[in-house]
């Protein structure tokens, strides 16, 4: 029985200890706003001091309604019109005696591209000179018979025969001279066995298909010359999208090899009336501004403006990209401590970008609210927000 009072005393001590620990937990819970739990905060919010906002260049603004183009995204290449692409051949064939052209060389109209050697050139010049000599004799006979006919000494048929022979030799001489010019041979003078092959137009050498000593025929293409002064954009449009394309529509395009994605413009000039086996249609557009740095065959990504609508926009630097999602920062509605501002991250759907502005669409829950958007310094906020998440 004497053990019973001792047990009661021990139970009293234990209950006293429990009552003292409970207030301690409450005190820790009360201190939590200043501790780690308060500092963690939601993952889509970031709070900055005034100094941090100045360093990040944070500036607020409102969305603006702007007319933007509804575009048709297509691909294509830079090309030259047929009159600016020249294939050069040797009209009478022969052997390549000399050429010093390299692919990419610039040539001017009339410049010597190659020297062609052909034994038949000698015969051509010989025939011309012999015919020219016969023409001189026929002319003298024609004039003599004309004088005799006027004096009624010779019959008219002699005069007519002399006239026909003279005119026939004139035609023959002119034809042989034209053939010599076509071959690049001199008309009259010393007989040579080589002819010069000259550039019909200026431009750049696209292809060199010969070597010294090579035998060539009139059908062989020896050189290809391209003049890139008047390039056009040749776009490939799917059959189902062709009804949206009209002449004079604006085309905004960038080069596939341009890391800066600089945008250039053109206008639709011609829409093909045939559909390829791949169910596509060719659309030609003329550049608004010529650029000698552009090269034929360059791949391009383009947008054909099919209509213009008024949409909500923000400056391009206000819409940030993280992974596959686009976001904007808006000023939080909740009040912050003095000298501090809170911003929250809102996912958006990005649309067309034009003239430094980007179309965007807010989630349904955010629509209709008087939001203030971060129009400058958005990427600085995104970087600080993601760094804070990694540290936690």
Pick from 258, 290, 309: which residue ends a domain? 309
Q: What pLDDT was estimated at residue 113?
A: 93
pLDDT in tens, the chain (392 residues): 444 444 444 444 444 444 444 444 434 333 333 333 333 444 688 888 888 888 888 889 888 888 777 678 899 999 888 888 899 999 999 999 999 888 888 999 999 999 999 999 999 999 999 999 999 999 999 999 888 888 888 888 888 999 999 999 999 999 999 999 988 888 877 899 999 999 998 888 989 999 999 999 999 999 999 887 788 899 999 999 899 898 998 888 888 877 666 888 999 999 999 999 999 999 999 998 888 778 888 899 998 888 777 888 998 888 998 888 899 999 887 655 567 888 889 999 888 777 788 888 888 888 888 888 999 988 888 888 887 666 65
Compute CA distances 270 → 54, 236, 248, 273, 277, whole Å: 52, 12, 9, 9, 20
* pLDDT given for residue 8 in this prediction: 42
102 within 8 A of 76, measured Cβ to Cβ: no
Do 322 and 301 share a structural domain? Answer: no
Residue 133: name the closest of 186, 172, 181, 179 by CA: 172
CB-based burial, 1-14: b 16+ in 10 Å, e otherwise: eeeeeeeeeeeeee
Q: What is the CATH number of the domain that holds 51?
A: 2.40.420.20
Q: Rounded to whole angstroms, how far apart are CA atoms 149 and 117?
A: 49
**Spatial CA neighbour of 252 closest among 273, 235, 274:** 235
Clarify whether residues 155 and 279 are in a common domain.
Answer: no
Contact between 384 and 46 (Cβ < 8 Å): yes
- pLDDT, position 5: 47
pLDDT, position 337: 59
Check whether residue 369 and residue 323 sit in a common domain. Answer: yes
Inter-residue contact 326 to 350 (CB < 8 Å): yes
Give the domain-ending residue among 226, 254, 287: 226
Instruction: With respect to residue 13, please indicate whether it lies within any of the assigned structural domains.
Output: no
Confidence at residue 34, expressed as pLDDT on a 0 to 100 scale: 37
**For position 335, what pLDDT does the model report?**
55
Instruction: Tell me, yes or no, whether 113 and 169 share the same domain.
Output: yes
Say how many domains are in the chain.
3
Residue-range definition of the domain harbouring residue 382: 40-66+311-391
In a domain, 6, yes or no: no
Tokens of 220: 């062989």
Residues 192, 237: one domain? no
What was the pLDDT predicted at 390? 62
């Amino acid at each position: 029985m004497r053990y019973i009072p001792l047990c009661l005393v021990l139970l009293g001590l234990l209950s006293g200890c429990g009552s003292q620990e409970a207030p301690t937990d409450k005190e820790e819970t009360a201190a939590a706003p200043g501790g780690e739990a308060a500092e963690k905060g939601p993952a889509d919010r970031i709070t900055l001091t005034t100094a941090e906002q100045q360093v990040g260049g944070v500036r607020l603004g409102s969305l603006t309604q702007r007319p933007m183009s509804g575009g048709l995204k297509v691909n294509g290449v830079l090309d030259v019109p047929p009159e600016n692409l020249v294939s050069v051949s040797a009209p009478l064939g022969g052997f390549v005696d000399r050429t010093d052209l390299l692919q990419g060389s610039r040539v001017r109209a009339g410049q010597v591209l190659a020297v062609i050697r052909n034994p038949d050139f000698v015969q051509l010049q010989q025939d011309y000179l012999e015919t020219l000599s016969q023409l001189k004799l026929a002319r003298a006979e024609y004039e003599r018979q004309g004088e005799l006919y006027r004096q009624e000494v010779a019959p008219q048929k002699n005069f007519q025969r002399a006239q026909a022979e003279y005119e026939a030799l004139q035609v023959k001489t002119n034809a042989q001279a034209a053939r010599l010019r076509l071959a690049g041979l001199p008309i009259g003078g010393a007989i040579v066995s080589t002819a010069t092959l000259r550039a019909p137009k200026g431009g750049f050498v696209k292809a060199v298909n010969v070597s010294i000593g090579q035998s060539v025929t009139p059908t062989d293409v020896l050189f290809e010359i391209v003049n890139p002064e008047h390039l056009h954009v040749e776009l490939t449009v799917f059959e189902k999208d062709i009804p949206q394309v009209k002449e004079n529509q604006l085309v905004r395009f960038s080069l596939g090899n341009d890391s800066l994605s600089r945008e250039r413009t053109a206008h639709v000039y011609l829409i093909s009336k045939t559909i390829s086996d791949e169910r596509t249609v060719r659309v030609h557009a003329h550049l608004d501004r010529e650029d000698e740095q552009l090269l034929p065959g360059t791949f391009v990504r383009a947008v054909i403006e099919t209509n213009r609508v008024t949409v909500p926009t923000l400056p391009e630097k206000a819409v940030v990209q993280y992974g596959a999602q686009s976001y904007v920062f808006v000023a939080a509605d909740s009040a912050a401590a003095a000298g501090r501002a809170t911003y929250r991250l809102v996912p958006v759907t990005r649309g067309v970008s034009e003239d430094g502005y980007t179309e965007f669409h807010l989630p349904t829950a955010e629509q209709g609210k008087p939001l203030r958007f971060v129009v400058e310094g958005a990427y600085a906020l995104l970087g600080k927000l993601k760094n804070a998440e990694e540290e936690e």
